[in-house]
Structure 1
Amino acid sequence: MTVLFVVIAVVVVALVFDFTNGFHDSANAMAGPIATGALRPRTAVIIAAVLNLVGACLSTEVAKTISGGFFDESLITAPIILAGLVGAIVWNLLTWLLGLPSSSSHALFGGLIGAVVVGAGMSTVHGWVIVSKVLLPALVAPLVAGLAAVAATRIAYRISRGADRAQTDAGFKYGQAFTASLVALAHGTSDGQKTMGVITLVLIAAGLQQADTGPQWWVVLAAGLAIGLGTYSGGWRIMRTMGKGIVEIETPQGAASGAATAATILASSHLGFGLSTTHVSTGSILGSGVGREGAEVRWGVARRMVFAWLLTLPAAGLVGGLSALVAEQGTVGVVGLLVLLTAACAVIYGFSRRHRIDHQNVTDSAEVMVFASASGRSYSTARQRDDADHDHGSPSSRTGAGSR
């Protein structure tokens, strides 16, 4: 009965992670179309949610890599997997609060690695698989996507040179909506499978499924629904950073970056790589900014994002390792860890309500506020000031970078 309780707890927490993965990464596909007006915010997340669900059901190669490749599953226990998921969820929520598009995939891998090292020993981790399937793609894929986006953006502007601007924008908006939909589908084929792999791993560890077997049908369906619902919830804080914070996106470069992102993710998913869709999407957006003449790329924002990327594996691993120390204290430890996770989620959510970002104000600014300012000005006061600036045609309203 105790084993079954822990397994159920792991499955539920894994689906919670999948939900956070959905809203954390929804910006990867839809930040560009929302920023340019190619799609309305609510329409965009509905499309992304449906395509994430569909994509999650199309392939299981990444899931098989996680459930049977990263670790010696004969030494993995359900409490260890639970601890790894806690590390991933906490890091996901912290970076979402700050509006940083870090990798949900690397948060999951880091949390699991930290928990496995503490709970089962370093020898349990298959280091070469992690290097070849996670670390090397993390370095190569954003560069490949970025270079592809540079080339595609320059081609897009070249073929539209001299054409009517209104007609060109209208055409590229359709193209941007199409490529964004491809990214959403690709995200489902990649990230949707990671939770399937975790659930399969815990079922194998608990003796409820044979080793070296893929996800069961109900696991595929549950993971697909969880990531789809998470995507539908929006993840507006990160969407603001991706759509406004890195570079002001125009429709031609938005269509180009979306095409580069989708092609890179779909290819890696087919090969079973545990790729970060966030890294790829960010690389494409940066590449599209480099590819458009006169574009202002905010390299300071990009540096903060890279710093968050570098921290993701060790930070999630640290939380996962500490969580493993708690989870391995039997049923009391598992219950205590669930209580701590719930409390952490509540605190982070409470901070996010102090400066709310939703579908109504996601394109208002490039900034994501977390704490109230020292002067005590409320969000509504700042919003009224920005509205007044807009009425008078201020530079901040034209660039969308008014301060909050």
Structure 2
Amino acid sequence: MGSGTLLLVLVIVTALAFDFTNGFHDTANAMATSVATGALTPRVAVTVAGVLNLAGAFLSVKVAETISGGIVDDSKISLEMIFAGLSGAVLWNLLTWYLGLPSSSTYALLGGLIGAVWTGAGRAAVNMGEVNEKVLVPALASPVIACVVAVSATRLAYGITRRAARDTSERGYRVGQVGSASLVALAHGTNDAQKTMGVITLALVSAGVLGAGSGPPWWVVLMAGLAISLGTYAGGWRIIRTMGRKLTAIAPAQGFAAETSAATVILASTHLGFALSTTQVCTGSILGAGLGHGRADVRWKVAGRIAVSWVLTLPAAALLGSLSASAADRGGLGVALVATVTAACATLLAVLARRRPVTPDNVNAPPIEEVRSSVPQHQSP
């Protein structure tokens, strides 16, 4: 096996590793509210999400084509740059997962690629017009749109059932959440799995295996779908807790409204080929569900931390991608160094996470601040 083939295999494996982290990082997108309201048990939720993510991967390739042929000039990039960009994205995904922050896997990937390509091939290799139109504008607009839609949907949901008994209403919306959460999982597969397809296709074009402008082969679609599906089944419990418990209190009607709103925005964007952040859409819809039922339901400190992670994701991943590209550009030893550092950091974060694990058994435990607020405060006489 030649060095070029070996590097191509390494890039594909790293892309699938990113896809796996994307899966468990973004499980919360589809299932956080359903787990929080008890509509689905944690294990059933991630199983359903995993299966539907796989199915969604086969429904469209428009986003994959945006990644493979629109964001960067595929004639000017190398496998080393793609590997460096993926390494930066994986590191940022794992860091934010450890911190329990629902940051964007999409913008981690795009940031890593942009930083690596900018460093390795120059600014001209990055199509800034395409970045602005299909990355930055959706990044700003999608969570706001999802939030507004969810506010309206939440008020409508409560309005429709205002005369119904509370138990009856909640039971009905829990049943509805099974369908709405499933729709979000399917939508997630149509958008997020395609990003890895696009990166692998970009690598195959760069290696001369495919011609410029080619779409993803069937085996790439299958592998990307399986990787994100398995990652989803692994369950990103830390982020599920943040989105389902820490951001806002979620009742079944709110969960149904949030999931329906998110699925609508994601599917519309997939149809248009926008590589938006499903995490931002789903977080925006959950925030909207909280606002739709009263401003006091939203924990703004948590929302602020999430917003900061959103702002930092693209430049931070770009910086990591740029640093990785600088090292990988030095040849085989540089690539080996980047691979070693990435693996070491991933191992360290996994070890640290085991010290304070979040599992299916404690994912619905009340946030610390909620527990503290429920403890009576003793006042001195």
Mapping of residues 211-226 of structure 1, within 5 Å: 211-226=212-227
Structure-2 residue corresponding to 1:93: 94
Structure-2 residue corresponding to 1:11: 12
Structure-2 residue corresponding to 1:281: 282
- Percent of residue pairs identical: 55
In 1, Cα distance between equivalents of 2:308 and 2:135? 18
Give, as a single letter, the amino acid of the residue that structure 1 aligns with 2:188: H
Mapping of residues 91-130 of structure 1, within 5 Å: 91-130=92-131
Give, as a single letter, the amino acid of the residue that structure 1 aligns with 2:198: G
Give, as a single letter, the amino acid of the residue that structure 2 aligns with 1:303: G
**Which segments of 5 or more consecutive residues in structure 2 lack a partner in the other structure?**
377-381
**Correspondence 1:395 to 2:370:** no
Give, as a single letter, the amino acid of the residue that structure 1 aligns with 2:282: S
Structure-2 residue corresponding to 1:308: 309
In 2, Cα distance between equivalents of 1:335 and 1:138? 33
Report deviation, 1:366: 2.5
Give, as a single letter, the amino acid of the residue that structure 1 aligns with 2:126: V
Report deviation, 1:162: 2.2
**Correspondence 1:66 to 2:45:** no
Structure-2 residue corresponding to 1:401: none
Residues 95-144 of structure 1: CA deviation (Å, up to 9, x unaligned): 00000000000000000000001111111000010000010001111111
- TM-score between both structures, scaled by the size of structure 2: 0.96
Structure-2 residue corresponding to 1:299: 300
In 2, Cα distance between equivalents of 1:367 and 1:80? 42
In 1, Cα distance between equivalents of 2:164 and 2:296? 20
Which consecutive segments of 4 or more residues in structure 1 shift more than 2 A?
365-368, 394-397
Report deviation, 1:159: 1.1
**Which segments of 5 or more consecutive residues in structure 1 lack a partner in the other structure?**
369-385, 398-404
Structure-2 residue corresponding to 1:343: 344
Structure-2 residue corresponding to 1:235: 236
> Which moves more between the two structures, 329-338 or 43-52?
329-338
Asked if the contact 1:146–1:287 (Cα under 8 Å) also holds between the matched residues in 2, the reply is: yes
Give, as a single letter, the amino acid of the residue that structure 1 aligns with 2:137: L
Asked if the contact 1:248–1:295 (Cα under 8 Å) also holds between the matched residues in 2, the reply is: no
Alignment coverage as a number of residue pairs = 374
Give, as a single letter, the amino acid of the residue that structure 2 aligns with 1:205: S
Report deviation, 1:174: 1.0
> Which moves more between the two structures, 101-110 or 138-147?
138-147
SS at match of 1:12: helix
**Correspondence 1:138 to 2:139:** yes
In 2, Cα distance between equivalents of 1:209 and 1:298? 49
Give, as a single letter, the amino acid of the residue that structure 2 aligns with 1:252: A
Structure-1 residue corresponding to 2:78: 77
In 1, Cα distance between equivalents of 2:341 and 2:317? 15
Report deviation, 1:293: 3.5
In 2, Cα distance between equivalents of 1:272 and 1:213? 16
In 2, Cα distance between equivalents of 1:293 and 1:252? 13
Give, as a single letter, the amino acid of the residue that structure 2 aligns with 1:131: N
SS at match of 1:75: coil
- TM-score between both structures, scaled by the size of structure 1: 0.91
Structure-2 residue corresponding to 1:362: 363
Report deviation, 1:167: 1.1
SS at match of 1:248: coil
> Which moves more between the two structures, 258-267 or 295-304?
295-304
